[in-house]
Copies of this chain bind each other. A is one copy, B any other.
Amino acid sequence: MAAREQHHPPLDGVELVTVLAALAEPTRLKIVRMLAARDGERAWKDIDLPIAQSTLSHHLKILRNAGLVQSRTEGTRCFISLRDGDVSERFPGLLETVLSCERGVLACGDATAADGDAGAVPPPSAAPSV
Query: Chain A: residues with CB nearer than 8 A to chain B?
Result: 15-17, 20-21, 23-26, 29, 84-85, 88, 91-98, 100-102, 105, 124-130
Contact = CB atoms under 8 A, between A and B. Distances in A.
A15 to B, nearest CB: 8
Main secondary structure of the interface of A (DSSP, over half): helix
A100 B94 CA distance: 9
Contact of A23 (B20, B93, B102): B20
A105 B127 CA distance: 24
A96 B128 contact: yes
Closest 7 CB pairs of A and B: A92-B124, A20-B24, A21-B24, A88-B128, A126-B127, A93-B124, A85-B130
